[in-house]
Structure 1
Amino acid sequence: MGNPAYWSAESVTDQLDRNLNIVVLMGGWSSERPVSLMSGNGVADALKDRGFTNVTAVDMDRNVAQVLAGVRPNVVFNALHGTPGEDGTVQGMLELMQIPYTHSGVTTSAIAIDKELTKGVLVPHGVRMPKGKIVESKSLYEGDPMARPYVLKPVNEGSSVGVAIVTDGGNYGHPISAKAEGPWQHFDTLLAEPFIKGRELTVAVLGDEALCVTELKPKAGFYDFDAKYTDGLTEHVCPAQVPDNVAKVMMDMALASHRLLGCKGASRSDFRWDDELGEAGVYLLEVNTQPGMTPLSLVPEQARQVGISYGELVERILAEALEGAKKTTGATKG
């Protein structure tokens, strides 16, 4: 699996100039800003620790294009999460400015941030995902869109932002009360999906190889934003204690999704597994094209599991971005 040259730490190190002018783009104004700042600062520190002498951390504001024009970087490490850094907007700006950048491009980002568009690409190719429907939030005050239990989530947010599980015994009401706190108060439309009982798992893909499977065991409730990014709220079991055939299904599905969507650098695919159904109980929930790079993040954890340090992980992502830029420039010139 994967490209042996890509996986050679020595080859990655050799091809990177330590005097590269690198901008680490972080922050922004999405709901995931705090996570992005942690990711970006971690990346910037790692690059400096590995000998890169010209690293600038940029907390993105509305004048980001002017800032980048002043710094004139050779490459941008995109450590943004959520919109506009994960939906193709920033990617389009960087394309116009002819600045190479890490992770996925414009089209992939625009599709993957939208859960319904993602289904439209992946499901026809055999990737199993929950059947869902887009609902107007105000319609929830009149009745349920499907049988309970079901999940409501924003169509284009990540990190489990605004997710609600609606159950018969829940406190949202029958039907959902307009006064009950939930995503219906913050988004005009939502994606409704049947709740998949069972276990929460995730698979990171780096370059063109699935790393391993991690099981996520929240100590209370479900794996929401707070559980993801608050130390001690979730137990990570890495590698997950699941049958080999189930782990293979998830890793194959994550890699296929990465390829079908055209992801670059690192991606992370999140799953639910109904362990009473074996392989048939594996469902892909979403693909994250800008996975977290914080100390609690899953991609660095899985990288460590397969022998890749945090610093090397950052370098590999950077190296792929520069290599992709070379190929694009060569194709344009040709």
Structure 2
Amino acid sequence: MSQAFGKVAVLLGGSSAEREVSLKSGAAVHAALVQAGVDAHLFDPAERPLHELAQEGFDRVFIALHGRGGEDGTLQGALEFMGLPYTGSSVLGSALAMDKIRCKHLFQVAGLRTAPYKVVSQSQGFDCAEIMAQLGHVMVKPSHEGSSIGMAEANNAEELAQALEAAFKFDDEVLVEQWLSGREFTVSILSDKALPVIEMRTPSGFYDYQAKYQSSTTEYYCPADLSAAQTAQLQEMAEQAFALVGAKGWGRVDAMQGDDGEFYLLEVNTVPGMTEKSLVPMAAKATGVDFTALVVKILEQTL
């Protein structure tokens, strides 16, 4: 099977705010592919022009780029123009999943439960006091960033103004979402099917960048301590959300459980972290699929 892949480029690094995470994901993916006997090579688009993929005779691409320029459809469009098969979602699915605001609109229209929210634009006026009166305790999120970059909690109008100022450094449009204080979950998707649910617990209050990549106190429960009915419900919601935005192949859908016991969708990730300690590998391992086998399964989707 490894010979059927031909020469494979593992795209990592890039120039987004998630570069450091991507370098770790790409290195782990590359090591696993080499271990599986695949002719895999590291390729950082921030250091080399993309057209060298064609010049050097690559047959397909494993995308391990996170954030802008790798997860938002632009790279996918370039690869399609070059005629190179690639892992993960296509142009539309990548672009929609990366846009938190459009995702929220889609969830709402499709009747998938998500927290109440407001969209704030830097170019248009907004009233922080009015937003807080409507939503109360909120989470502020740049529309096009991942790994919780630029996110902040706000309890009053002054804190909201500060959070928006910080978020506007990343995006012109910002999502202001009503705070959910319940349990936090993620559902990994492989071959468009949900894997076991993982619960994340962190003393920091929410699963932010530090909790994801730097903290030693974050706890993971896989499978999550949920009833069979709750697990099935959350997995079905994740599969519906994944398909709704046009994502395909593999990825991850994040959700929270509110104080009312209901599940609320947060976002869809089309190129989530892929170190051996990341969430998708953790869920795959729970089904008996080790990291190397997981990476090969994802690459097989390009055949």
| 1:120 counterpart (80, 105, 108) | 105
Q: How far does the alpha carbon of each residue in 1:81-131 deviate from its partner, in whole angstroms, 9 at most, with x for none?
A: 001101100000000000000000001111111112123333332211122
- Structure 2: gaps spanning 5 or more residues: none
Partner in structure 2 of residue 237 of structure 1: 221
Partner in structure 2 of residue 95 of structure 1: 80
Partner in structure 1 of residue 236 of structure 2: 252
Partner in structure 2 of residue 133 of structure 1: 118
Sort the Cα spacing of 1:176 and 1:267 in 2 relative to 1 into closer, same or farther, 3 A. Answer: closer
1:297 aligns with 2:282: no
Distance 1:163 1:85 in 2: 20
Partner in structure 2 of residue 8 of structure 1: none
Partner in structure 2 of residue 10 of structure 1: none
Distance 1:269 1:41 in 2: 23
Distance 1:179 1:194 in 2: 14
1:27 aligns with 2:8: no
Q: How far does the alpha carbon of each residue in 1:163-203 deviate from its partner, in whole angstroms, 9 at most, with x for none?
A: 111125xxxx6364559984245543311111112111100
1:166 aligns with 2:166: no
Sort the Cα spacing of 1:179 and 1:297 in 2 relative to 1 into closer, same or farther, 3 A. Answer: closer
Partner in structure 2 of residue 44 of structure 1: 30
- Structure 1: gaps spanning 5 or more residues: 1-13, 323-334
User: SS at 1:254's partner residue?
Assistant: helix
Partner in structure 2 of residue 284 of structure 1: 265
User: SS at 2:294's partner residue?
Assistant: helix
Sort the Cα spacing of 1:179 and 1:296 in 2 relative to 1 into closer, same or farther, 3 A. Answer: closer
Distance 1:76 1:60 in 2: 12
User: SS at 1:118's partner residue?
Assistant: helix
Higher mean displacement: 201-210 or 243-252 = 243-252
Aligned AA (2:94): S
Distance 1:182 1:217 in 2: 26
Note if contact 2:144-2:171 (Cα within 8 Å) is conserved in structure 1.
no
Calculate the TM-score normalised by the size of structure 1.
Answer: 0.83
Higher mean displacement: 288-297 or 72-81 = 288-297
Partner in structure 2 of residue 261 of structure 1: 245
Partner in structure 1 of residue 145 of structure 2: 157
Partner in structure 2 of residue 202 of structure 1: 186
Distance 1:185 1:75 in 2: 35
User: SS at 1:143's partner residue?
Assistant: helix
Note if contact 1:200-1:216 (Cα within 8 Å) is conserved in structure 2.
yes
Report how many residues are paired: 300
Aligned AA (1:74): D
Distance 1:179 1:135 in 2: 12
Distance 1:239 1:135 in 2: 37
| Deviation of the 1:224 alpha carbon | 0.6
Distance 2:158 2:175 in 1: 19
User: SS at 2:84's partner residue?
Assistant: coil
| Deviation of the 1:158 alpha carbon | 1.1
Task: Give the number of the structure whose alpha-carbon radius of gyration is greater.
Answer: 1
Distance 1:181 1:136 in 2: 11
Higher mean displacement: 92-101 or 185-194 = 185-194
Q: What root-mean-square deviation, in Å, do the aligned CA atoms of Structure 1 and Structure 2 show?
A: 2.2
1:315 aligns with 2:296: yes
Sort the Cα spacing of 1:36 and 1:309 in 2 relative to 1 into closer, same or farther, 3 A. Answer: same
Partner in structure 2 of residue 213 of structure 1: 197
Structure 1 runs of 4+ with >6 Å offset = none
| Deviation of the 1:140 alpha carbon | 6.5
Q: How far does the alpha carbon of each residue in 1:22-47 deviate from its partner, in whole angstroms, 9 at most, with x for none?
A: 00001001010011111100000000
Note if contact 2:140-2:164 (Cα within 8 Å) is conserved in structure 1.
no
Aligned AA (1:157): E
Aligned AA (2:241): S
Aligned AA (2:274): M
Note if contact 1:142-1:175 (Cα within 8 Å) is conserved in structure 2.
no
Partner in structure 1 of residue 95 of structure 2: 110
Distance 1:177 1:121 in 2: 27
